[in-house]
Structure 1
């Protein structure tokens, strides 16, 4: 009985070994046993590399209005959204204090000028006396001490005259300063535009100095030309150049897109979460909108009898979109384009170590090479490739692949881990929606 069990066990082991070897060598069981994959032919197409970023709209030109003097707002002539022309009076501050200061400096100037007149008369008198004493001393009529006293008095008079002149200059400077301070109580529009932001009310007190920025009272912007300011990651900003074209989508207009161009790339980064694991380094980039927007302050033009204005052919004219400061949106910047580039789906490219080395060496990043798997009948052949730019779906293959060659594109688990050179595969064909067949 025991001998029979031994014989049966030995036969079972031999059958298992033969079955494993047969499956490996392809003697039986091969039909339908390959790794199920999808394949697609490499094609020549135009690839455009795109950098996507998010940001907000802002006027290309916007100035902040702050006072140079402090005071209470006694006149406010604008409201938010109002159009102004260069030189218009925006607001006035209470001038009482500055008017009084102007009168004081004017009085000080008058006093200094009167003192100067006295010093000029004294100087003239002492000069004449000094000249008379000098002639008498030369004829030896008076002693030297009297001559020296006259000379000293004359020099003192000249010094007092010079001091009086300086005092007049100082008083004149104070008067100019007081006059300028009074003039600064009236705030004028520095340029034509729209009041994009108003932060003060009538009767509010504002603070201003000539050495530093005072209270921000309002902003004036030229809304006819808007731009998007976006933050681009440090890894992507190196691909962006001045003049690159862009497609801008504003969240408020989901069915429209605007053409744009890169006008400014910051040299300094914005770092958020500094010192933490969430630290992000971005660079501000500005994109000018090229398509029409904010025409006629965003109002719809009407025809002579009401309704929306029409073009010459009678077609209603769609009003230009109104893009307001602060509106959010997305920007796709086209950084590089290659025409007739041999390309494959992005998921078809993976990495493998092609060297015959130890497992530790095979897993090292330095030994990894970019490869695709060629669908050669029912076998996957690994091939190293040199890749270039990529768009959302396809990647350029600069070398290692010819148009028309079929490459394995999925599933992800097969391309990234399972496939090796020589792996048996079964290609899943998808001729149309709802139809699925399998072929070798």
Structure 2
């Protein structure tokens, strides 16, 4: 007779096994009848409607504000600054005296060159007298030779002396021309000790002080003394990535935001696109290739710095008052949105709805056979081989009867949120836009899906309300 404790343990074990078997049977029946289980296999997705809209492609870049026209002034001669008539921020007119360099050395050079000219002219006069004397002697010897009064050698000697005197006179003439050229050069160097404004504008940068010595630019880069700029004609130079610059064209409109004026936007237009790139961190993983693009600021600005007679529209009723206009300074940071292309009334879907699939993996690859005949046995050896070839195409997934339907599409331009669908959709379709992993990897044609209901606005938690 078995002990009572052992029998109780056995009955408990049989009861547990029976419950497990019953649960398995119930799960199989429920899955087969569709009571439960099938919903867990469906992928929960988010959807949006393919709709017709207007898209504008935008290229965004950042850069610095700078004058459209800015002239760097460096002296042509070296010396000490003895007169400085401007300060940074002053407005100047074309031809105004800006800087004067001590001219003592260059005055001495002019005086020395003038003395050289006088000496060369005196030498030329002496050589002319020698030539005239030799000419008279030649005529006398010629008359005597014609009368057979002298030997032929005496006549030839007189003729040679005249030619020598004539050549010396011509050399003296050239020496005078050379001395005069040195005098002109010395006077020009003297004139360069006074530096005048090459254009009307504002002294945007001043790098020298009174009494400072500067180096001229005759043989190498000299001292940059100052810059004169047209501050009423400003532009933004931005760096556009090499992938985006192909979409930018001259004349494209732009919206400009300057960091110093966060609540204002300004109109702009593309005026220049560089042909040569700027490359940073070349040869490393952080290498970046950008192209400088210049955008002219169209809205009135720096009106108090406008130069009269430059064509700036200051008298129109649309121009704001000078004290209300923005004041842009060279070097300010800004961001620009360049509107490169606009399409109207096209089918568009959210950008995240478009993904890529390899059609070569979705369709059975064709079997190819090759036969190799061996000379020894004379039999055919048939070998089956597969040659998978990647075939990437753009697709979107639609929701149709609770399943994902893949549709191949052709895309166009994009804006910040949507992408143009040129072919594949006609509008109104329910396309799957998320989650990202499902759209990019998981979904396949025929995958069961369940649309996630849109979030309903509810009450805020008490803590958040408080």
Q: Does TM, scored on the shorter chain, surpass 0.5?
A: yes
Match of residue 345 from structure 1: 350
Q: State whether structure 2 residue 83 is matched by structure 1 residue 75.
A: yes
Q: 1:90 aligns with which of 91, 98, 102?
A: 98
CA shift for structure 1 position 360: 12
Structure 2 stretches of 5 or more lacking a match?
Answer: 1-8, 307-315, 367-387, 460-466
Match of 2:184 among 169, 176, 179: 176
User: For 2:278, which of 270, 279, 283 is the aligned residue?
Assistant: 270
For the aligned residues, what is the CA RMSD?
3.2
Q: Is the 8 A contact 1:32 1:426 kept in 2?
A: no
Where structure 1 has 5 or more consecutive residues not aligned to the other structure, the ranges are 299-310, 436-440
Contact kept? 2:99, 2:194, Cα under 8 Å: yes
Distance 1:334 1:71 in 2: 52
Q: Compare 234-243 and 95-104 and name the one that shifted more.
A: 234-243
1:243-269 superposed Cα distances (whole Å, 9 cap, x missing partner): 111111110011111111111111111
Using the TM superposition, give the Cα deviation of residue 424 of structure 1 relative to its aligned residue in structure 2, in angstroms. 2.1
1:318–1:159 CA distance, 2 compared to 1 (3 A): closer
Cα deviation for residue 368 of structure 1 reads: 2.5
Q: Report the equivalent of 1:208.
A: 216
SS of the counterpart of 1:322?
A: coil
Instruction: Label 1:251 to 1:17 Cα distance change in 2 as closer, same or farther (>3 A).
Output: farther
Q: Which runs of 4+ in 1 moved over 6 A?
A: 8-15, 315-318, 358-361
Q: CA deviation at 1:431?
A: 6.5
1:158-237 pair list within 5 angstroms:
158-237=166-245
Contact 2:76–2:218 (CA under 8 A) maintained in structure 1 = yes
Number of equivalenced pairs: 419
1:438 corresponds in structure 2 to: none
Deviations 1:321-364 (A, max 9, x none): 01110000011111111111100111111122234469999xx9
Of 411, 414, 420, the residue aligned with 1:387 is 411
* Contact 2:66 2:237 (C-alpha < 8 Å) held by counterparts: yes
SS in 2 for 1:276: coil
**Equivalent residue of 2:140, what SS?**
helix
- Correspondences of 1:108-147 after superposition (within 5 Å): 108-147=116-155
232-241 vs 209-218, which moves further: 209-218
* Deviation digits for residues 366-424 of structure 1 (CA, Å, limit 9, x no counterpart): 42321111122422211111111111100111111121111111222222233222222
| 1:426 shift after superposition | 2.1
Please give the secondary structure, in 1, of the residue aligned with 2:452. strand
Distance of aligned partners of 1:62 and 1:24 in 2 relative to their CA distance in 1, 3 Å threshold: farther
Given the two structures, how large is their TM-score scaled by the length of structure 1? 0.87
Kept in 2: contact 1:33–1:426 (CA 8 A): no
- The farther-off stretch of 186-195 and 122-131 is 122-131
After superposition, what is the alpha-carbon deviation per residue over 1:283-303, rounded to whole angstroms, capped at 9, x for unaligned? 1111111111111129xxxxx
Instruction: Work out which of the residue numbers 306, 313, 333 in structure 1 matches 2:338.
Output: 333
Q: Any idea what the Cα deviations from partners look like across 1:21-71, whole Å, max 9, x if unmatched?
A: 974895643357632222111111111111111100100001110011100
Q: 1:326 to 1:378 in 2, by over 3 A?
A: same
CA radius of gyration, larger in: 2
1:428 aligned to 2:455? no
For residues 318 and 123 of structure 1, do their structure 2 counterparts lie closer, same or farther at Cα, with a shift above 3 Å needed?
A: closer
- Determine the C-alpha separation between the residues in 1 that align with 2:212 and 2:413: 58
How far apart, CA to CA, are the structure 1 residues paired with 2:255 and 2:341? 14
* Separation of aligned partners in 2, 1:151 and 1:316: 88
Residue 424 of structure 2 corresponds to 400
Equivalent pair of 1:380/1:423 in contact (CA under 8 Å): yes
SS at match of 1:235: coil
Structure 1 residue 117 displacement after superposition = 1.1
